[in-house]
Amino acid sequence: MSLFQYRLPEVHNMLHSKEISVSELTEVSLAAIAKHDAKVHAFLSLNEEGARQTARALDDKLASGAARGLLFGLPAGIKDNIVTKGLRTTCASQFLDNFQPIYDATVVSKLRQADAVTIGKLNMDEFAMGGSNENSSYGAVRNPWNLEHVPGGSSGGSAAAVAAGEVFFALGSDTGGSIRQPASYCGVVGFKPTYGLVSRYGLVAFASSLDQIGPVTRTVEDSAYVLQAIAGYDAQDSTSAKVEIPDYLSALTGDISGLRIAVPKEYIGEGVEPAVRESVLAALKVLEGLGAVWEEVSLPHTEYAVAAYYLLSSSEASSNLARFDGVRYGVRVDEGGGLLDLYHNSRSRGFGPEVKRRIMLGTYALSSGYYDAYYLKAQKVRTLIKQDFDEVFQKYDVVIGPTAPTPAFKLGSQTEDPLTMYLNDILTIPVSLAGIPAVSVPCGFAGGLPVGLQIIGKEFDESTVLRVAHAFEQNTDHHKERPQL
């Protein structure tokens, strides 16, 4: 049994009683990576010497009796679009193959303050653009439950690393479902906080009005610990929210008696695989047994969410990625033809096909004469989607449905059909457009692959989302299942 099968408080008790050391825990992580990662391919860079150095310092701290951080000694993986000082950060793109950040993202600094150990950087879709992790320019991640299937994306490396037992927890980023969908596909817990709750400072921007960093963990309790450590106002992020951070762990009471659940008919209707629908309906019965009540509702603008999302996110991407010009960052292809040739050659060779597709789509949507027809209209749709959720939350505490309409699909099965690929995010994108919190927790299996239950909450009401997820988890065994690698 891996040490990573234990709950966080159990690991901390073992450290405190000197049954294990932080150095030993770090070696468990590195050994698991050595054993499994040739098959899973979750890591792009390892921080072996840095991790061992940090572990030794934490062992000294433990021996001295000094106060310990919330995530003391826990090995963590960081998605490769979150900058880490002196540790290569590529965004899984050839454009940043040689990029060594000179500062830490705020979340990385917070993990250090919480005494976590950074093991390395995790694979992803290039610049977080993709839902299968097949867009990484360093090769696809594979799903630990079935190596012929995708792990989801774009935080596929984060979810696969936790599912494979390579790290205790990981950080991912979620723009349209990039934490929740891979968590669903890999049978782990993925939490997307309310927009503004966790600082984006140091997250390489894809779509700034949607991007959010969150934890990928094995259990809901671990997710609450990591969220507690990384949430909070940051003056270096202009979109950071000045809100009081509650004690998320105290929300894990197991009591959901009287809870009111809304189940959108659009989330369990056409396009949702029957086995996924059955898993969600079975989960609702579990919650009913705990005293909750649920009713079917409608979120009528759901069908427009995917189109609006790809217009908005691609427009923001075309602007954000303009900084990658061969002058300041990463790849520089200068063949002596002048400045315009430098731009053209650097961007042509540095970016992969999906990134180029979205830059072109976004540039077109923002161009003169088309702004009102596409970008402005998409913003109006976004407002309608947010209003749908606001109306439902006047009567209900949470919204529940599947995280994804199907379990993980086979590698290569959708790469030639980007529209079908985009539709895999149809149940996570509305939440991102509304900027509200949601978690994916394991709720069953279909064809031997995990199925995720999505629990959506009101703005800044992460506590209720965690409470419901924890109550469900503690009354089921899905989260105890582990892939055989």
Alpha-carbon distance of 392 to 375, in angstroms, equals 26
| Whether 480 is catalytic | no
Query: Can you give the chain as a three-state secondary structure string?
Result: CCHHHCCHHHHHHHHHCCCCCHHHHHHHHHHHHHHHHHHHCCEEEECHHHHHHHHHHHHHHHHHCCCCCCCCCCEEEEECCECECCECCCCCCHHHCCCCCCCCCHHHHHHHHCCCEEEEEECCCHHHCCCCCCCCCCCCCCECCECCECCCCCCHHHHHHHHCCCCCEEEEEECCCCCHHHHHHHCCEEEECCCCCECCCCECCCCCCCCEEEEEECCHHHHHHHHHHHECCCCCCCCCCCCCCCCHHHHCCCCCCCCEEEEEHHHCCCCCCHHHHHHHHHHHHHHHHCCCEEEEECCCCHHHHHHHHHHHHHHHHHHHHHHCCCCCCCCCCCCCCCHHHHHHHHHHHHCCHHHHHHHHHHHHHHCCCCCHHHHHHHHHHHHHHHHHHHHHHCCCCEEEEECCCCCCCECCCCCCCHHHHHHCCCCCHHHHHHCCCEEEEEEEEECCEEEEEEEECCCCCHHHHHHHHHHHHHCCCHHHCCCCC
Annotated active-site residue in 136, 137, 178, 463: 178
- Given a contact cutoff of 8 angstroms between Cβ atoms, the answer to whether 191 and 231 are in contact is no
Neighbours of 394 (CB within 10 A): 7
Integer angstrom CA distances of residue 231 from 45, 282, 428, 462: 26, 32, 21, 11
- Given a contact cutoff of 8 angstroms between Cβ atoms, the answer to whether 124 and 144 are in contact is no
Q: Which residues contact 300 (CB under 8 A, 6 or more apart)?
A: 266, 388
Annotated active-site residue in 29, 45, 79, 173: 79
| Whether 178 is catalytic | yes
Integer angstrom CA distances of residue 243 from 198, 199, 212, 252: 11, 12, 16, 21
Alpha-carbon distance of 481 to 471, in angstroms, equals 18
Annotated active-site residue in 154, 279, 318, 463: 154
| Whether 154 is catalytic | yes
Place of tokens 């009713």: 295
- Report the catalytic residues: 79, 154, 178
